[in-house]
Structure 1
């Protein structure tokens, strides 16, 4: 089947306003086709839509004052929005989940709660949110259409995914409950793309600002790109653009990406990204609410009907377990 190679990336910008120059430099240099952003830390009105569109990317976003916030970017096209927020908790107003069809792929951008300090209400919220994600992901993993879950999961899957776990044992990112939830997600049939590509080689996506951790490569792997059974066979490569983390006043995360072959032809009314449009007028205060999709603009997932193109091969075999990262003193 004819296919097109797409570069899909996730980047926790840790503040879209202060990190916009870094984001634009990275987009120009690396030219990813699909991008998920997390931790915008900006209201809906304050998002720099025009600057991103001027860079050649269509964009949808869900802002939140001072915290959270997610966005999806499409090179040369406009994402077709599917849903905002996870189902099953209408009282949850935090901006952490955005789903859209982009270049033939259903892409979910997520910012999973950090959960610290634990134990406590923040950790309880993290686990409850994780369970909602697992429940929704179950409706996506077996779709005959390519699907990717990308973002900051705030989970270190194993001790091999951190420079030295000793000093982090009490952190919510390493708790057994967090790791079990991540394994439950993978057990549905999702492929952890960085693990599949790099196997035994430690690879990090986050370095905190303390004690020169980036300069000493004392990192963690908490940004993940998970592929469903339809998309996983096309996985070609994966990596981390560490040069962005090395910039002055950088985010504590680095853009993390994959290269994957996406089938060009699908049967049925598969969602397709629209050509990039001019910047829209700033949304009003209620803009964060879900837009009503139409039959021509967006499929419906979960409680909504989803297009069903023909299935392809099953996911790639899991990579061999990696060796633990060499332990160094804190």
Structure 2
């Protein structure tokens, strides 16, 4: 099976390629605007905003796995979300029609639900609160229109992961773990809010699993269970690091939000970007608990969530991996 992996130089893509390279039936090619440090021999440079570049790189009759996106919280040029996430989807569909491609796997995001009610599943209301979530959903609609043109021939798999973490990632979960490891972690709010998480190896495994899905539209949230409260997660990480589980420092949510808003003002004046912002405080303190219909497909995640957290903590804060590649994301 020939797989064109768009956005394959990043965190999830690199882990996905490692899985496919160990399986002889797959022939995978990376298409990305950034070089692949792990797999330069199978990578082609292309920006999904360029129709011509995609035409040169995408293969006939391949399966498309689309991971590329504009996704950070602090992108100042808002038009980039539209150009990359929606415009890129349109370009991919255009070339897919030209190349006779009948399967597209698109990694969307639970951000399409916005600040969603606890336990929302794939049937939940779409209500994004930012341009990232809005444009991810708009991209879903673009791909649905492509599939609807030949509904008995084309397969569209839309995967909406919650926050993805794992070894070598430098996103929000890593930042939380680093704060805990430093001994300077401050809990904002009561810590009773629950968080759904997704381990990168399990996400990559489900991407592989979905390569064989039949024609139709298949939409799945991706979550690894169980959902921890922030108190439970912090206590577990402290134990892994050989520390007392108790959380020593706490701030009321209102005070944390004031601090985040203050950083927003400074960022606007200076043009600098800071790891603290009002939206990040809100996201940290919010419940983000999702349900998924993935179990109905028969898929079993290869790594239990507790094991995944332990693997990540050991890799990042106990073992020595200073010279290995890392990936920056939200």
Under TM normalisation by the shorter chain, which class is it?
0.3 to 0.5
Greater length-normalized contact order (CA 8 Å, ≥ 6 residues apart): 1
Larger Rg: 2
TM-score (norm 2): 0.38
* Higher normalized helix content (fraction of residues): 2
TM-score (norm 1): 0.38
* Higher normalized strand content (fraction of residues): 1
